[in-house]
Structure 1
Amino acid sequence: MSTSREDGLALRELVDNWVLWRDAGDWERFATAWDPIDGWMTATWFQGPATEFIAASRSGFESGVRILHFLGGHTSDVVDDRAIAQTKMTIDQRAEVDGVEVDVVCAGRFYDFCARVDNEWKIVRRQPIYEKDRLDVVDPAARLELDPELLGRFPAGYRHLGYLQTKAGFTVRTGLPGLTGYVVERLYEEGEKWLAGSATAGDPHAGGAS
């Protein structure tokens, strides 16, 4: 298992393009980042084919939903025409919670199952790993009390993000991968099997509950 400099740069460019095109609402180019047949996205608020994720993201963007992404360090493992790419990231969402404007920042990693399609790298499955998050009121003078029962529904890695998105009307999936634990260990095993030639990019339906 190795990563050539050329493949490493191409995979990093793919991840960069995903973020820039999605956050800018460049939907035609955003679609080209995905495997055209098997592309699959799992997020707190969405689990399904890439084509449906693009449509849902576009609808939210046009209605004022603002979920932004920032990227950090990146590494990738390549075996022939398959790769696992991991990229440090933060998810930044601004919205109102009980009439108070807040920012939620969630830190973690994009864990991407990638394949070379027509000599270009594409994302077959994206599974974020949620490591920690926080909630800040935009106006320091504002006061917000959180519902501890609702907050406690979600894992520590995306507790506040899940809270905000639930208040915004999304159905948030629980039990997604965090920094440690069985769910993320299973994800790593799926990544190893993908590089070894498994028929599918793991099982995005397993783990967690809607």
Structure 2
Amino acid sequence: MGENTMEDVMDKVNIRELIEFERYCRDYMHWDEMRTCYHDDAYVVVSWMKGGVDAFIEGSRKRPAPAKHKIFDTLVWKNGARAVVECITAIQIRCEVDGDTVDLSTHTRLHYRVEKRDGLWKIVTMDAVYEKDTMKSAFTDGTFHASREELARFRPTYANMMLRQVKYGGVPNGEMAGEDRPESVRKLYEESSRWLGV
């Protein structure tokens, strides 16, 4: 950071555009364009799945409620033909839960590894670091209320997201990196630093 050559600057601009375009494609269901953002061997780990990029895109296509990713910052650490990227994001979902319309907001750091192959930057991995979330009725006179007992069954950094997934018949991954488990975040960063070669 802070000692960029002109090549670094151009690469970082291209990497940032790649990451933000990938999220745009996800939000607005441009599945073919989303696929072009990933290398063929890319691997994704999020709260509702882990697997190859094609399984991720197909799973995203079938998700029961649309998600929108509101991006605040995109940071890039680059070393040669590899880079680690964090996208500071709020995931927003409006959906039906227990007969009410609710808004779910999950604050996360989307964590990518990207690599330049044959002159093109594309995504190799995507993980997430969960920070906090909330879920409440969209209406002041709404009926939905998540009890402390319900939420206590799940990780505090993404308990509402996990509760919603269970109510939709899903089996959420309770082992994601999260601020409630600092060692999990440290492990992810150490692995990415080794991969980056720094």
Query: Which residue number in structure 2 is paired with residue 46 of structure 1?
Result: 49
- The alpha-carbon deviation at position 173 of structure 1 amounts to 0.5
- Deviation per CA, 1:46-66: give whole Å up to 9, x if none: 111111111111123xxx521
Contact 1:154-1:175 at 8 Å conserved across structures: no
Kindly report the root-mean-square deviation, in angstroms, between the aligned alpha carbons of the 2 structures: 1.7
- The alpha-carbon deviation at position 161 of structure 1 amounts to 1.0
Matches within 5 A, 1:61-100: 64-100=64-100
Structure 2 gaps of 5+ residues are none
Query: Which residue number in structure 2 is paired with residue 203 of structure 1?
Result: none
Query: Equivalents in 2 of 1:137, 1:13: separation in Å?
Result: 34
Q: TM-score, normalised by structure 2?
A: 0.91
Query: Equivalents in 1 of 2:99, 2:31: separation in Å?
Result: 31
Query: Equivalents in 2 of 1:58, 1:97: separation in Å?
Result: 20
- The alpha-carbon deviation at position 70 of structure 1 amounts to 1.1
- The alpha-carbon deviation at position 147 of structure 1 amounts to 4.5
Give the match's secondary structure for 2:154.
Answer: coil
Give the match's secondary structure for 1:116.
Answer: strand
Matches within 5 A, 1:112-191: 112-179=112-179, 181-191=182-192
Counterpart AA for 1:35: H
Please point out which of 1, 5, 18 is paired with 2:9.
5
Counterpart AA for 2:62: S
Contact 2:84-2:192 at 8 Å conserved across structures: yes
- Deviation per CA, 1:156-193: give whole Å up to 9, x if none: 21111111121112210102111351101000000111
The runs of 4+ residues in structure 1 deviating greater than 3 Å are 147-150
- The alpha-carbon deviation at position 143 of structure 1 amounts to 2.2
Query: Which residue number in structure 1 is paired with residue 27 of structure 2?
Result: 23
- Deviation per CA, 1:16-35: give whole Å up to 9, x if none: 11111111111111001111
Query: Equivalents in 1 of 2:31, 2:78: separation in Å?
Result: 28
Give the structure with the larger strand fraction: 2
Q: TM-score, normalised by structure 1?
A: 0.86
Query: Equivalents in 2 of 1:152, 1:8: separation in Å?
Result: 41
